[in-house]
């Protein structure tokens, strides 16, 4: 999906407007979940050499789309932050909207990327697709996260993951402000 980032930003904005966060306990829990998702994204960003090779090591040994997995975990963290125990219907509605919107965005994106990767890498990608699940990591591949030879500081800098970290930080600050000042 060519407009994946823009659509994701619009969905996130709608969630921020609709939600009525109220719980510091849920905020801190959500922040911890977001941090886990960001850690997955950081690892994936340090391992993938985009458009030059089929990356199958590091986190890519456990799952074909660790960047999207990290984003989904971060989104779950944000949804925990935005949850309001005193408004269960609103909370259920924003969770359902987030699941539907991000599920659709990443389903379409992953399918398009797989068509591209198959056209470029052919049998090599077919073999990889059979070995690694699309989004939920396989336990046998989790050791790849700890294969530090798969990571590169240069690759990490080139992939500019600092932008995602900055956005996550800004979201957390905004949600904290909404809880503190009740707006």
pLDDT tens figures, 95-134:
999 999 999 999 999 999 999 999 999 999 999 999 999 9
Distance CA 147, CA 58 (A): 6
On the question of pLDDT at 9 being above 70, the answer is yes
Cβ atoms of 67 and 77 within 8 Å: the answer is no
Confidence (pLDDT) at 81: 98
Q: What mean pLDDT, rounded, does the chain reach?
A: 95
Q: Between 75 and 146, where is the model more confident?
A: 75
Confidence (pLDDT) at 1: 62
Of the candidates 64, 65, 57, 59, the one whose C-alpha atom is nearest the C-alpha of residue 43 is: 59
Confidence (pLDDT) at 139: 87
- Give me the residue spans of the domains in the chain: 4-177
On the question of pLDDT at 144 being above 90, the answer is no
On the question of pLDDT at 51 being above 80, the answer is no
On the question of pLDDT at 89 being above 90, the answer is yes
**Token pair recorded at residue 117:** 């990767």
- Domain 4-177, classified CATH 1.10.490, yes or no: no
**Mean pLDDT over residues 49-70, rounded?**
92
């Amino acid at each position: 999906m060519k407009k994946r980032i823009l659509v994701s930003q619009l969905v996130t904005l709608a969630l921020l407007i609709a939600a009525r966060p109220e719980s510091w306990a849920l905020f801190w829990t959500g922040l911890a979940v977001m941090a886990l998702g960001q850690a997955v994204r950081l690892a994936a960003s340090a391992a993938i050499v985009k458009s030059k090779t089929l990356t199958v090591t590091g986190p890519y040994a456990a799952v074909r789309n660790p960047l999207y997995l990290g984003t989904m975990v971060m989104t779950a963290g944000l949804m925990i932050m935005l949850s309001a125990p005193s408004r269960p219907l609103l909370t259920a509605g924003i969770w359902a909207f987030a699941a539907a919107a991000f599920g659709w965005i990443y389903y379409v994106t992953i399918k398009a990327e797989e068509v591209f990767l198959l056209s470029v890498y052919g049998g090599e990608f077919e073999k990889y697709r059979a070995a690694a699940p699309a989004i939920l990591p396989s336990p046998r591949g989790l050791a790849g996260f700890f294969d530090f030879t798969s990571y590169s500081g240069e690759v990490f800098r080139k992939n500019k993951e600092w932008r995602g970290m900055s956005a996550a930080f800004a979201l957390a600050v905004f949600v904290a402000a909404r809880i503190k000042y009740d707006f």
